[in-house]
Amino acid sequence: MRFTVDATSGKARAATLTLAHGDVPTPIFMPVGTYGTVKAMTPRELEEIGARIILGNTFHLWQRPGLEVVGAVGGLHRLAGWSLPMLTDSGGFQVFSLAHISKLNEDGVVFRSPVDGSARNLTPEVSMAIQATLGSDIAMAFDHCPPGDSARAVVIDAMERTTRWAARCLAAPRPDTQNRFGIVQGGAHLDLRLRHLEQICALPFDGFALGGFSVGEPIPVMYQLLDELAHRLPAERPRYLMGVGTPRDLLTAIGAGVDMFDCVMPTRNARNGQLFTWRGKIVISNARHKLDPAPPDPDCPCETCKTFSLAYLRHLHACSEILFARAATLHNLHFYLELSRRARQAILDGRYEAFAAEAIARLS
């Protein structure tokens, strides 16, 4: 891995991340492909709209199709038909999201499989072995992500466990071309975040992530913490904010010094009838769109906006047509990737603060 900072504008920075499967210009949004597919999109479509790195989910790919299948075809890149860089999460978020079917202990987490009900023991070593088989360019360390409203004692316990698990992840074997990122926890407590940042960043990871955000804490608290934390992560390594978020979240986090993002919001909201535009969010089921011949966003050059009217998209959504999910997903991902591109250009031009303020005002 090579990481070169190309320009800065305040705390915001534009960089180039070079991985085994290609270069990634940052800031960058990573579309989420939970099961090895970004829902409703083909690899070619993703590449055409500017995706340069996508994300796969270690826990769910472990369940289906399973490592036997992934290994037999030569890794997740070949299985998914994706030739550019890929990041895999560690399964740590499932400690939070699947707490109702799991049991935590020092060794790891025992899950009751949502597929067949079998017991699955996910440990730091198992997570690293799964990600080695998947063959991602970036593998995330296995962490303990507590809910955003957890008591301080619970947050400290999760934070300290994450540190111990991080050392075990680093000790596990890995492919020569795979990089590993450590994850900073600490909940909504600035002092704990700073303490954990110091602990994790002392370990020889290739990049660092801020985890445990957008899990129930107030948004203003998240923004305050990001402003205090992101620029303190090592300047010579990529900085990744996990699972966040809205366009405003991304603009705020870029201004704090974050390089990489992922979130299911553009794809999930698309399937639920919401379109992100430079003029704010559109809820396609609203009656005012029934006779509207305009595209979702006249300023957007994506195939959806060049082809379809709001009236037609509302019709497709009302009929539960598959084409709506495809068209809306393509548009939303294009918007998020264009947001990343414009942010990068504003940093290169030395005017990120003005760009972000103007974009946030338009999106509100």
Instruction: Identify whether residues 165 and 309 lie together within a single domain.
Output: no
> Is residue 106 predicted with pLDDT exceeding 80?
yes
Contacts for 182 with CB less than 8 Å, ≥ 6 apart: 141, 166, 200, 201, 203, 205, 207, 208, 209
> Is residue 110 predicted with pLDDT exceeding 90?
yes
Domain boundary among 216, 243, 263: 263
For residue 27, whether the previous peptide bond is cis, meaning omega lies within 30 degrees of 0, is yes
Please give the model's pTM, rounded to 2 decimal places. Answer: 0.97
Q: What is the pLDDT of residues 52-91, one digit of tens each?
A: 999 999 999 999 999 999 999 999 999 999 999 999 999 9
Instruction: Identify whether residues 227 and 199 lie together within a single domain.
Output: yes
Domain boundary among 263, 289, 317: 263
How many angstroms separate the Cα of 9 from the Cα of each of 6, 231, 248, 344?
11, 12, 18, 10
How confident is the model at residue 253, as a pLDDT? 98
Instruction: Identify whether residues 137 and 68 lie together within a single domain.
Output: yes
Q: Which domain holds residue 330?
A: 264-364
What is the C-alpha to C-alpha distance for residues 112 and 163, in angstroms, rounded to an integer?
Answer: 25
Please give the distance of CA 208 from its chain centroid, rounded to a whole number. 13
Instruction: Identify whether residues 153 and 219 lie together within a single domain.
Output: yes
Per the CB < 8 A criterion, the answer to whether 211 and 303 are in contact is no
Instruction: Identify whether residues 95 and 227 lie together within a single domain.
Output: yes
> Is residue 271 predicted with pLDDT exceeding 90?
yes
Instruction: Identify whether residues 243 and 310 lie together within a single domain.
Output: no
> Is residue 113 predicted with pLDDT exceeding 90?
no
> Is residue 95 predicted with pLDDT exceeding 80?
no
Confidence of residue 94 (pLDDT cuts 50, 70, 90): confident
How confident is the model at residue 65, as a pLDDT? 96
Domain boundary among 237, 263, 289: 263
Instruction: Identify whether residues 42 and 145 lie together within a single domain.
Output: yes
How confident is the model at residue 259, as a pLDDT? 98
The CATH number covering residue 198 comes to: 3.20.20.105
> Is residue 364 predicted with pLDDT exceeding 80?
no
Instruction: Identify whether residues 247 and 274 lie together within a single domain.
Output: no
Instruction: Identify whether residues 286 and 165 lie together within a single domain.
Output: no
Q: What is the pLDDT of residues 191-250, one digit of tens each?
A: 999 999 999 999 999 999 999 999 999 999 999 999 999 999 999 999 999 999 999 999
Quick one: average pLDDT of 81-109? 92
Mean per-residue pLDDT of the chain: 96
Instruction: Identify whether residues 37 and 109 lie together within a single domain.
Output: yes
Instruction: Identify whether residues 85 and 171 lie together within a single domain.
Output: yes
What is the C-alpha to C-alpha distance for residues 250 and 336, in angstroms, rounded to an integer?
Answer: 9
Positions marked catalytic: 89, 262
- For residue 180, how many C-alpha atoms fall within 13 Å in the half-sphere facing its CB? 27
> Is residue 148 predicted with pLDDT exceeding 90?
no
Place of tokens 């399964």: 91
How confident is the model at residue 97, as a pLDDT? 86
Instruction: Identify whether residues 86 and 30 lie together within a single domain.
Output: yes
Between residues 207 and 95, the one the model is more confident about? 207
> Is residue 96 predicted with pLDDT exceeding 90?
no
Quick one: average pLDDT of 108-114? 90
Please give the distance of CA 332 from its chain centroid, rounded to a whole number. 15
